[in-house]
Structure 1
């Protein structure tokens, strides 16, 4: 592996693909948690929480 001039790390195409897959998996997991927390909140508070006066 060649060292870049700025001292950073050069990734192979396979390492870039693995990093991208890992980032997508983390994004999906985080998005799923957000949806689960939202659903639990709506179910615990009831549907009336959406019909509040602004």
Structure 2
């Protein structure tokens, strides 16, 4: 798998997780925060994978 595909997949995962965090904010805040943290990690991984 090329680097570009990996970066795009990680960014898509981050977007999916942000959407989940947004939709669960009113019902389950701890789950929403956990999803947001995972989204930040996925986005950071995509950025790091793209540069290094």
Relative to the length of structure 2, the TM-score reads: 0.49
More helix by share: 2
Q: Which has the larger radius of gyration?
A: 1
Higher relative contact order (CA 8 A, sep 6+): 2
